[in-house]
Chains A and B, each alone.
Chain A
Amino acid sequence: MAAIYSLYIINKSGGLIFYKDCGTKGRMDTNDSLRVASLWHSMHAISQQLSPVNGCSGIELLEADTFDLHCFQSLPGTKFFVVCEPGTPHMESLLRYIYELYTDYVLKNPFYEIEMPIRCELFDINLTQAVQSDRVALLGR
């Protein structure tokens, strides 16, 4: 069964505002996850510059031997990316659904300061439900 390893949300300036481990593999400590987030932010920006045609929105999918990395950037510049087993399906719709959860439970929460790390109980609860593999399969329909 295809598995999701971890999930990141980075703000406009490349700071990690949310990180979640979803399995036993690929766990990272706080420093490493922060480093990965800012690295990805820069790589994403560079990929836009590298494009030979105008209007490139950056890397959407990175395929490696041992993992896939799917990235979704929202209009205001917040990036959501998920690291998963190669060939895991429905990751685009999962990212879109996570973006929806973010707009609902984070942005509508009066106690959340924009661009700051996310600590919202309702977001955590709903996200945990969403990444369960049977739920992910439902998203694909």
Chain B
Amino acid sequence: MIGVGKMKQYSNVLDKPLSKGKQEVSLTAFAFLFSELVQYNQTQVDNIAELERRLEDAGYAVGSRVLELLCNREKGNRRETRLLGILSFVHSTVWKVLFGKVADSLEKGTEHEDEYMISEKELLVNRFISIPKDMGTFNCGAFVAGIVKGVLDNAGFPAVVTAHFVPIEGQQRPRTTILIKFAEEVLKREARLSQ
């Protein structure tokens, strides 16, 4: 019988299960840390493409760790082996752990078979960031693109992942789209598996 509103008493403190702990970190703390990350990398580069690459690399390390953590915690040490499986894993499980919500949308590219897009109206890392006009199409979402790339690469789905601003009609702010272009071998394997 479960005693409602009554804590189970443990004679030994070591028998007590560990509490799940706090699941969220302060957004402000994260925003300042991320801001410093961008500022530091800006001092290390001389062009925007290089800055984008460095942010992506930083995200890649996060992605590979997140994949291992979540496979262990949520999936009972199994990982997804199918294309749609891993995409929905990124779109829902990974997004939920990192940003506290599932991504706004996951779509298949209309022009190319090997392209998929994850779109977010307001990406968490971009919440407080305004890109100066002289930086053109630079998007700090490159960090998130790196995370996605890290997850996909380490799960055996090599892909090129980039972040872009896409203007929406009637809105002042553009949304961010994470474009995923899978390697040829991934699609070949997928075709073989669907037979």
Contact = CB atoms under 8 A, between A and B. Distances in A.
Contact of A110 (B28, B42, B172, B173): B42
A34 to B, nearest CB: 22
A109 B32 contact: no
A125 B122 CA distance: 15
Interface string B35-57: 11111001000000000000000
A122 B132 CA distance: 11
Contacts of B132: 111, 119
Q: In the complex, which range does the number of interface residues on chain B fall in?
A: 10 to 19
Given A110-B42, A111-B135, A104 B128 contact: yes
Contacts of A40: none
Contacts, number: 40
Contact of B131 (A105, A108, A111): A111
B61 interface: no
Nearest to A108: B128
B35 A108 contact: yes
A111 B128 contact: no
B195 interface: no
A122 B135 contact: no
Nearest to A104: B128
Interface SS of chain B: helix
Interface string A120-139: 11110100000000000000
B35 A109 contact: yes
B31 interface: yes
A108 B130 contact: no
Contacts of A108: 28, 31-32, 35, 128-129
Interface of B: 28, 31-32, 34-39, 42, 128-132, 135, 140, 172-173
20 contacts: A104-B128, A105-B128, A105-B130, A108-B28, A108-B32, A109-B130, A110-B39, A110-B129, A110-B140, A111-B129, A111-B131, A111-B132, A111-B135, A119-B130, A120-B130, A121-B131, A122-B129, A122-B130, A125-B172, A125-B173
Closest 9 CB pairs of A and B: A110-B38, A108-B128, A121-B130, A120-B130, A110-B35, A108-B31, A122-B130, A110-B39, A111-B132
